[in-house]
Amino acid sequence: MTPTPATLAPTSLVDADHPAVQAFARHHARGTSDRERAVSLYLAVRDGFRYDPYRIDLSPEGMRASGVIAAGYGWCVPKAALLAAACRAAGIPARLGYADVRNHLSTERMRQSLQTDLYIWHGYTEIWIDGAWRKATPAFNLSLCEKFGLLPLEFDGHADSIYHPYDRAGNRHMEYVHQRGSFDDMPLAQIVADFRRTYPVWLAADPTGADFMADVDRESGPQAKSVG
């Protein structure tokens, strides 16, 4: 499907018209082609905002693209929204994609909280480059991948950038089990409803004192399990 006007338009959650998103796009959309500018934006979102699955705010304010810039961190869904918003602000058509993934590696806190290895509504970005939609997953920042022995997700604007099935050591990492499709805007109401049904313990947990990077530091090492 070719781009529609909606893949360039700002929305409440993919707020490409927000001043912070506009400034971010102006600064990071570097290059002479859409491919070069999209790759530059991808790297800026991937590595400029640390991945943190402990501090999840499912309110519109916590999920919209500009909120990632304000917070300085995010998780896969809002980081994908930020990449889409930044691409739209730079004049590059972009939309959101979602899938359910089976994560074979996780922190102990996440395993206890989620009580499953199935991560529903994993978010990524689809960017229109040279006549095709290219998948880009800006979730895991490079320093996190290095610490936990994950293969970083690179994006060259040609091939899709999706989770690796194995980590650097050959341990199973991510398995895509269900594709939910492509969306011009984030289906927040459905995501929230499904999260509440699937992860009641996680959403009811008090995040006070839970430090994602402290858990990463404690569990990293030759025998440590990685994070999803």
Strand ranges inside 77-169, DSSP E: 94-103, 118-129, 132-136
What is d(CA 151, CA 145) in angstroms, rounded to the nearest whole number? 6
Give domain 7-219's CATH architecture: Roll (3.10)
Note if the pTM is more than 0.85: yes
Among residues 14, 172, 186, which one has the least CA distance to residue 85? 14
For residue 172, what is the DSSP state?
A: B
- pLDDT, residue 167, reads 77
CA 54 to mean position of chain CA atoms? 14
Beta strands 73-74; 174-183: pairing state: unpaired
Low-confidence ranges of the chain (pLDDT < 50): 222-228
Tell which phi-psi region holds residue 115, choosing left (phi > 0), alpha (psi between -120 and 50) or beta.
left
Cα–Cα dist 74/104, whole Å: 21
Q: Can you spell out the DSSP letters for 113-182?
A: HH-SSEEEEEEEEEEEETTEEEEE---S-HHHHHHHTPPP----SSS-----SB-TTS-B-EEEEEEEEE
Q: Which are the contacts of 197, defined by CB distance < 8 A and separation ≥ 6?
A: none
Per-domain residue ranges for the chain? 7-219
> Are 98 and 180 in contact, with CB atoms under 8 Å apart?
yes
In 163-183, which positions are buried (b, 16+ CB within 10 angstroms) versus exposed (e)?
Answer: beeebeeeeebbeeeeebeeb
Paired tokens of 196: 């509440």
Rounded Cα distance, 51 and 68, in Å: 10
Judge whether 45 and 37 are in contact, CB under 8 Å. Answer: no
Instruction: Select from 144, 135, 150 the least CA-distant residue to 38.
Output: 135
